[in-house]
Structure 1
Amino acid sequence: MVTDVWKQIKQKKIAPVYLLYGTELFLMNETKQLIVNTILEEEEKEFNFSAYDLEEISIEEALEDAETLPFLGDKKVVFLHNPVFLTSEKKKEKVEHNVARLEAYLREPAPFTVLVFFAPYEKLDERKKMTKELKKHAVTVEAKKLTESELNNWIQSRAKVNGVEINQEAIDLLLTLVGPNLFMLTSEVDKLALYASGKETIDTHLVEMLVSRSLEQNIFTLIDKVVQRKLDEALRIYYDLVKQNEEPIKILSLIAGQFRLLYQVKELSRRGYGQQQIAGFIKVHPFRVKLAAGQAGKFTDEELTAFMKMLAEADYQMKTGSMNKSLVVEMLLFKLKKNDS
């Protein structure tokens, strides 16, 4: 777990080589900052910190830097981004890498250098000798998307760092409004904690009052109002988005994307897939699948099929200019309401 490595770094238990891979960029960035800020003083960063893109620079050149003594300091930090030779990706490389040179370095790493590989890939090619060697010698961490329970713990921990508590109802609402994006969650929890400093606990009232809603979240809420047969509230959300200069064609696209997700989740659930399996199959976060499953259960198969046809017709009308774009979405919402009433 990445947080376990963070604890070790904060305690100055520093390894000579790290391998961080995965698709959760927030965890990647947090680890980068923690390593640099823990190991190097501010005045050392200019001289003793280097970063290389291994899609542009050979591993030999980067290792030459790693084996060069630090300037005016005891340690240096070298970041190596995009080690494509650890994956099975079939793309033409701009540079050739002498991985035997890296294997030799791993057997005897420079004692004054912290070498960190950042591989923004969902998985590494475990069949490759280089992958096995690196995992053998490096502290390896997978920066993967957090599960729902991990997101809950993350939010609670972030609140505690800011000196406040957050109750479960507030966490649920926050995740519904913001989604699983850690960049946004961190920003919102920090903001909520600032306002809750006198109350000591973040509650649903504070979340409802302060948390920003993305366009995607507004679309989710709009569809939820359709699910609840509250057309007036769905239209109010749409009119507010138009006033905020959101393009009707973009709004329609997001509505279509959400209904497509509902259709996929409903169909795959019927086939016996669990939410985690569905998330992996259609490549969305499990939390989105959970929310979609709740909405999809309110529609019959026939309703969802009819809605998909309406959305296709609305898309055609908008792209051919046969009707005012804003009116296309408005009429679509009326049709959705009429169809499910």
Structure 2
Amino acid sequence: MSISDLKKKIKQNKLDPLYLLTGTEAFLIDELQKMIIEQALPEEEREFGLAYYDLNETPVQAAVEDAETLPFLGEKRVIIVKNPLFLTAARDKSKVEHDLDSLQRYAENPSPFTILIIEAPYEKLDERKKLVKSIKKAGAFVKAEALQESHLGDWLQQRAKENGVTFDQEGEERLVQLTGSHLMLLQQEIDKMALYVGEGGVVNAEVVDLLVARTLENDIFALIDRIVRKDLDKAFRILYDLLKINEEPIKILSLIGRQFRIIYQVSELSKRGYGQKQMASTLKLHPYAVKIAQQQTRSFHEEKLRFIIDQIAESDYEMKTGRMDKKLILELLVTKIKNT
């Protein structure tokens, strides 16, 4: 079942007795859990009607026994079990002895007054195991994976809409550039910017730059972007800001080199007919990083990219041998790249 389909069912109060939530995107798993709890239990019933079990510390049979116990208050109970490593092929190194037969029996006949949520934050489950098959068959199964770039923009705009604001295209791209596809971080930043622009406001790239915490990698990315745009004034402003906060020139140079190597690799793979997803997989990069590098390749012919990479290597040698002032080396390099 897809996450969107499961959300629709939950909103319609069509709750299943058993949920298996797996995958590595913790934000989506937490979000689904909260939706289920809010639908199943009024707030005043959650103190007695909601229970958590960490299977690294507690045997699964204790959770099963609790799930089979009638609610103390209200009509429903929600039991959440975490870290069921026994559903994977990995070896469980904990000393907890789990009676998996008890969970197997429960999956075959779940309690009508309990909603059991099994949180399995793993990339893969062991599909060969009878228990995995039984749990998937008995309830709602969903895998929460990192969103693809094509879906990330829709997700971001929907979150913005829920906060009463919108993102323009540059603002959306800038936010993803600075935060990546980490949904928890994206949500926090959207909430912050929504408060800043107010109801009905528009978040643009300037707002993103003003409010989102920056990293060295982000600033190097912005530096190269300004060089590509032939905006030398802003490029030097970014460079001097980095030096002012005592970032090591050799580290700045290293990251500049890394980004231009990525641009060159993307250029070469594009010629071979690779798509963005293939390039992202081959280079072990986020698809958005590949997309931006692909755009930047349009500003540099292959010979120019090779010249720039050679200049970066020469600057690295000069910096490490102390032939010239490090700041001056970076200034000259930025100017050479801009003039290629």
* Fold conserved between structures, TM > 0.5: yes
Distance 2:315 2:101 in 1: 55
- 3-state SS of the aligned residue for 2:291? helix
Checking the alignment, whether the CA contact within 8 Å between 2:85 and 2:92 is kept in structure 1 is: no
- Measured at CA, do residues 206 and 231 of structure 1 come closer, stay the same or move farther in structure 2, by a change above 3 Å? closer
Residue 338 of structure 1 is matched in structure 2 by: 336
Give the CA RMSD over aligned residues: 3.5
User: Structure 1 stretch 99-108 or stretch 233-242: which is displaced more?
Assistant: 233-242
Query: Which letter maps to 2:239?
Result: Y
- 3-state SS of the aligned residue for 2:7? helix
- 3-state SS of the aligned residue for 1:126? coil
- Measured at CA, do residues 229 and 105 of structure 1 come closer, stay the same or move farther in structure 2, by a change above 3 Å? same
- 3-state SS of the aligned residue for 2:237? helix
Residue 150 of structure 1 is matched in structure 2 by: 151
- 3-state SS of the aligned residue for 2:154? helix
The number of residue pairs the alignment matches comes to 333
Residue 48 of structure 2 is matched in structure 1 by: 47
- 3-state SS of the aligned residue for 2:51? strand
Residue 306 of structure 1 is matched in structure 2 by: 310
**Deviation at 1:337?**
4.3
Checking the alignment, whether the CA contact within 8 Å between 2:127 and 2:133 is kept in structure 1 is: yes
* Counterpart check, 1:207 vs 2:211: no
- What are the ranges of 5 or more consecutive residues in structure 1 without an aligned counterpart? none
User: Structure 1 stretch 242-251 or stretch 188-197: which is displaced more?
Assistant: 242-251
Which one has a bigger Cα radius of gyration?
A: 2
Residue 123 of structure 1 is matched in structure 2 by: 124
Residue 295 of structure 1 is matched in structure 2 by: 296
The within-5 A match list for 1:1-341 is 1-89=2-90, 92-197=93-198, 200-202=200-202, 204=204, 207=207, 210-215=210-215, 216-244=217-245, 254-255=255-256, 258-259=259-260, 261-299=262-300, 300=302, 302-303=306-307, 305-306=309-310, 309=313, 317=320, 328=326, 331-332=329-330, 334-335=332-333, 337-338=335-336, 341=340
**Deviation at 1:195?**
4.1
Distance 1:304 1:93 in 2: 53
- Measured at CA, do residues 147 and 40 of structure 1 come closer, stay the same or move farther in structure 2, by a change above 3 Å? same
- Measured at CA, do residues 190 and 140 of structure 1 come closer, stay the same or move farther in structure 2, by a change above 3 Å? same
Residues 36-61 of structure 1, C-alpha deviation per residue, up to 9 Å, x if partnerless?
Answer: 23323334333332222333333223
Checking the alignment, whether the CA contact within 8 Å between 2:70 and 2:113 is kept in structure 1 is: yes
- 3-state SS of the aligned residue for 2:20? strand
- 3-state SS of the aligned residue for 1:52? strand
Checking the alignment, whether the CA contact within 8 Å between 1:17 and 1:137 is kept in structure 2 is: yes
Identical pairs, percent: 46
**Deviation at 1:312?**
6.8
**Deviation at 1:20?**
1.4
**Deviation at 1:67?**
2.0
TM-score normalised by L of structure 2: 0.80
**Deviation at 1:88?**
3.1
- What are the ranges of 5 or more consecutive residues in structure 2 without an aligned counterpart? none
Checking the alignment, whether the CA contact within 8 Å between 1:223 and 1:255 is kept in structure 2 is: yes
**Deviation at 1:221?**
0.7
- Measured at CA, do residues 44 and 227 of structure 1 come closer, stay the same or move farther in structure 2, by a change above 3 Å? same
**Deviation at 1:5?**
1.8
Distance 1:253 1:44 in 2: 56
Distance 1:310 1:74 in 2: 73
Query: Which letter maps to 1:335?
Result: L
User: Structure 1 stretch 252-261 or stretch 65-74: which is displaced more?
Assistant: 252-261
Distance 1:89 1:270 in 2: 41
User: Structure 1 stretch 11-20 or stretch 236-245: which is displaced more?
Assistant: 236-245
**Deviation at 1:207?**
3.4
Checking the alignment, whether the CA contact within 8 Å between 2:165 and 2:194 is kept in structure 1 is: yes
Distance 1:135 1:272 in 2: 39
**Deviation at 1:108?**
0.6
